[in-house]
Amino acid sequence: MTYFILLIAALILMAFFTGNEIGLISCQKPRIMTQIRKGSRRAAFIDYVLKHPGLMLSTMLVGTNICLASASVFAKRFVVSAGIPAQIGTILISCILPIVMLIPEILPKNWFRQDPENRCLFFAPLLMVVYFILYPISWIMAFITSLSLKIFRADKRTDKTSLLMREDFRVLIRDSESAGVIDNEAADILDRSLDFYDLRVSDVLTPLDEVIMVPARATVKEAAELCRKYNVSRLPVMSRREMPDDMRQLNWIGVFSIYKAIFSLDETEWNTIKVEDCMKQLYSLQDSQDIPDVITNAQQLNCRLLAVRDDENRPVGVVTPVDVSSKLFS
- pTM higher than the cut 0.85: no
Give mean pLDDT, residues 233-238. 92
For 32-70, how does the pLDDT look when each residue is reduced to its tens digit (9 = 90+)? Answer: 888 888 888 999 999 888 888 888 888 888 888 888 888
Q: Is-contact 250 273, C-beta < 8 A?
A: no
So where are the chain's domains? 2-153, 158-198, 201-329
Q: Is-contact 202 308, C-beta < 8 A?
A: yes
Q: What span, in angstroms and rounded, lies between the C-alpha atoms of 191 and 180?
A: 16
Question: Looking at the predicted structure, is the pLDDT value of residue 72 above 70?
Answer: yes
Selection from 271, 178, 175, 191 nearest residue 223 by Cα:
271
Q: What span, in angstroms and rounded, lies between the C-alpha atoms of 242 and 262?
A: 26
For 249-286, how does the pLDDT look when each residue is reduced to its tens digit (9 = 90+)? Answer: 678 899 999 998 998 888 889 999 999 999 999 999 99
State the CATH architecture for 201-329: Roll (3.10)
Quick one: pLDDT at residue 155? Answer: 46
Quick one: pLDDT at residue 112? Answer: 87
Quick one: pLDDT at residue 223? Answer: 94
Lowest mean pLDDT segment, chosen from 25-34, 136-145, 155-164, 178-187: 155-164
